[in-house]
């Protein structure tokens, strides 16, 4: 039975290996449910209509195990991908779990830690290429400080850039079809993280040797933790052609990173976000980096996964209805929404500046107009509420 709210692989919904099967461990308590095997995970994804899976090297291949064991684990994963038709949509490195990364990875003060982190990443870039993943993510979980005096931030950024330039060189050298995506986060687990927001990361990318190879993997929870609008950040990333990947989840403002089910909290922002993604022609994965509530059990973890996708599809449908509603069009005309797409003065020339200066404006008339934003916004709310 299929309808607009039933996902299919065409929707390109993806989940990280660390998400649905998360056993519920947190800083204050142990696991609350058994882990899900990789094979069961992929079968489950196929059953619920998902399309892709992402992984950290250590999710897939046992850290520190002999090469033969790691190869066998990778081969088993490839077999499960083949059997289920699930696509490997993104890969990343775990540069945060092992205690060796306690001072950072690419930005650790210890040069050997930095060299180890780069080597670990290079090895997993080979795995990503073997699995055909088009995007490789960098979430700098440990790239930061508790004590500001412990690192010179400008040196740390030099080392971060050095690592990314090195990976770009490697990918070009190998001829891999792989792009990189930085995932910003303001804090947690470090007190202050380098590249804390979408804006910081986008400015940093412009300083790299191959800026066209590096984009963003923004996450709803991370910008929301910083008190920023995820919608506005994603819009700017799209505007700069930097939205290479996206981590969808949800988050209450001002809290620790909650990684809640997509659409479970900031429903109005989520509506605007889905509308933006659908209208922009973004064709990358819709990747859920979220986890079931810690008290969930059994099939409940799949309720969580189905909920993420169902809410996305429901919001996409609401967004289409919203844009087809003649009352919305009228309200947008009153608000001059479409006028913002018209250029203001055009390119500079002696003539255009003269024309501008010769024009007479009536400041009082300009101040007296209405934009009708209350009515327009109420149409957003009405649509979400379905009234
Ligand atoms: C970790 C983090 C996520 C990142 C993952 C990629 S791992 O769970 O909280 O936001 O996307 O390293
Ligand atoms: Mn998160
Ligand atoms: Mn994430």
Tens of pLDDT, residue by residue over 113-134, are 999 999 999 999 999 999 999 9
Tens of pLDDT, residue by residue over 215-264, are 999 999 999 999 999 999 999 999 999 999 999 999 999 999 999 999 99
H-assigned helices in the chain: 38-47, 57-60, 67-84, 111-131, 153-174, 198-205, 220-225, 230-239, 267-280, 300-324, 326-334, 350-358, 363-368, 373-385
Tokens representing 295?
């008290």
- Chain position carrying tokens 């087809």: 324
Is 59 one of the annotated active-site residues of the chain? yes
- Residue 125, classified by CB atoms within 10 Å of its CB into exposed (0-12), middle (13-18) or buried (19+), is buried
State the pLDDT at residue 77: 98
Residue 32 has pLDDT above 90, yes or no: yes
Residue nearest to atom 6 of ligand 1 (CA): 139
State the pLDDT at residue 70: 98
Residue nearest to atom 12 of ligand 1 (CA): 139
Nearest one of 244, 171, 249 to 201, comparing CA atoms = 244
Q: What are phi and psi of 300, to 5 degrees?
A: -60, -30
Find the mean pLDDT for residues 152-170. Answer: 98
SS3 (DSSP) at 180: strand
Q: Return d(Cα 335, Cα 125) in angstroms, integer.
A: 48
Q: How far is the CA of 199 from the centre of ligand 2 (A)?
A: 17
Tokens representing 316?
């996409």
Catalytic annotation, pick one of 22, 56, 222, 287: 56
Give the contacts of 118 (CB within 8 A, at least 6 positions apart): 106, 163, 166, 167
Nearest one of 303, 299, 239, 248 to 274, comparing CA atoms = 248
Find the mean pLDDT for residues 195-211. Answer: 98
Q: How far is the CA of 183 from the centre of ligand 3 (A)?
A: 7
- Chain position carrying tokens 């069009």: 329
State the pLDDT at residue 2: 58
Is 287 one of the annotated active-site residues of the chain? no
Q: Which of 18, 289, 292 to probe ligand 1 with, by most ligand atoms within 8 A of CB? A: 289
The ligand minimizing its distance to the Cα of 221 is 2
Contact (CB, 8 A) for 248 and 11:
no
| Cα dihedral 186/188/192/193 (nearest 10) | -60
**Can you tell me which atom of ligand 1 is nearest the CA of 138?**
12
Tens of pLDDT, residue by residue over 72-86, are 999 999 999 999 999
Boundaries of every domain in the chain: 3-324, 326-385
| Distance (Å) of CA 281 to CA 245, 258, 362, 368 | 13, 28, 40, 37
- Residue 75, classified by CB atoms within 10 Å of its CB into exposed (0-12), middle (13-18) or buried (19+), is exposed
- 160: confidence class by pLDDT, cuts 50, 70, 90: very high
Residue 63 has pLDDT above 90, yes or no: yes
Q: Which of 141, 190, 221, 225 to probe ligand 1 with, by most ligand atoms within 8 A of CB? A: 141
SS3 (DSSP) at 313: helix
Find the mean pLDDT for residues 281-298. Answer: 97
Tell me if the bond preceding 170 is cis, omega within 30° of 0.
Answer: no
Q: How far is the CA of 269 from the centre of ligand 1 (A)?
A: 21
Q: Which of 16, 20, 197 to probe ligand 1 with, by most ligand atoms within 8 A of CB? A: 16
Catalytic annotation, pick one of 57, 58, 59, 103: 59
DSSP 81-119: HHHH--EEEEEE---SSSGGGTT-STT-SSHHHHHHHHH
Q: How far is the CA of 248 from the centre of ligand 1 (A)?
A: 11
Q: How far is the CA of 325 from the centre of ligand 2 (A)?
A: 35
DSSP 239-259: HTT-B---EE-B--TTSS---
Asked whether the whole model's pTM tops 0.95, one would answer: yes
Average pLDDT, the chain: 97
- 3: confidence class by pLDDT, cuts 50, 70, 90: confident
Tens of pLDDT, residue by residue over 324-354, are 999 999 999 999 999 999 999 999 999 999 9
Find the mean pLDDT for residues 367-374. Answer: 97
Task: Look at strands 192-193 and 144-145 and give their pairing.
Answer: antiparallel
Residues with CB under 6 A from ligand 1: 18, 56, 92, 137, 139, 183, 219, 247, 257, 289
Query: What is the assigned CATH class of domain 3-324?
Result: alpha beta
If you count them, how many residues does the chain have? 387
Tens of pLDDT, residue by residue over 228-240, are 999 999 999 999 9
**335: how many CB neighbours lie within 10 A of its CB?**
17
Tokens representing 21?
């099967």
Residue 1 has pLDDT above 80, yes or no: no
**365: how many CB neighbours lie within 10 A of its CB?**
8
């Amino acid at each position: 039975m299929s309808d607009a709210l039933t996902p299919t692989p065409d929707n390109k919904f993806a989940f990280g290996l660390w998400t649905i099967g998360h056993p519920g461990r947190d800083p204050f308590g142990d696991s609350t449910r058994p882990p899900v095997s990789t094979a069961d995970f992929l079968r489950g994804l196929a059953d619920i209509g998902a399309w892709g899976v992402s992984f950290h090297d250590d999710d897939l291949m046992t850290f520190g195990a002999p090469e033969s064991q790691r190869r066998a684990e990778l081969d088993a994963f490839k077999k499960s991908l083949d059997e289920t038709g699930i696509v490997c949509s993104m890969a990343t490195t775990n540069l945060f779990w092992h205690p060796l990364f306690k001072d950072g990875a690419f930005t650790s003060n210890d040069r050997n830690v930095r060299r180890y982190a780069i080597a670990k990443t290079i090895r997993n870039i080979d795995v990503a290429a073997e699995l055909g993943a088009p995007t490789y993510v960098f979430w700098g979980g440990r790239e930061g400080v508790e004590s500001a005096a412990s690192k010179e931030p400008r040196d740390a950024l030099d080392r971060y850039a050095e690592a990314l330039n090195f990976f770009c060189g490697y990918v070009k050298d190998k001829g891999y079809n792989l792009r990189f995506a930085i995932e910003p986060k303001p804090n947690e687990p470090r007190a202050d993280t380098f590249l804390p927001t979408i804006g910081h990361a986008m400015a940093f990318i412009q300083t790299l040797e191959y800026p066209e190879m590096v984009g963003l993997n923004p996450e709803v929870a991370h910008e929301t933790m910083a008190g920023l609008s995820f919608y506005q950040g994603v819009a700017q990333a799209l505007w700069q052609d930097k939205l290479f990947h996206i981590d969808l989840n949800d988050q209450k403002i001002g809290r620790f990173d909650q990684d809640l089910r997509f659409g479970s909290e900031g429903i109005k922002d989520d509506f605007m976000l889905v509308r933006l993604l659908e209208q922009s022609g973004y064709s990358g994965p819709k990747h859920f980096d979220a986890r079931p509530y810690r008290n969930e059990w059994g099939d409940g973890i799949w309720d969580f996964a189905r909920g993420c996708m169902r809410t996305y599809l429901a919001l996409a449908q609401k967004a289409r209805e919203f844009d087809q509603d003649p009352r919305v069009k009228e309200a947008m005309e009153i608000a001059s929404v479409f006028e913002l797409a018209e250029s203001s003065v055009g390119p500079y020339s002696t003539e255009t500046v003269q024309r501008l200066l010769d024009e007479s404006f009536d400041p009082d008339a300009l101040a007296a107009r209405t934009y009708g934003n209350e009515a327009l916004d109420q149409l957003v709310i009405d649509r979400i509420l379905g009234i």
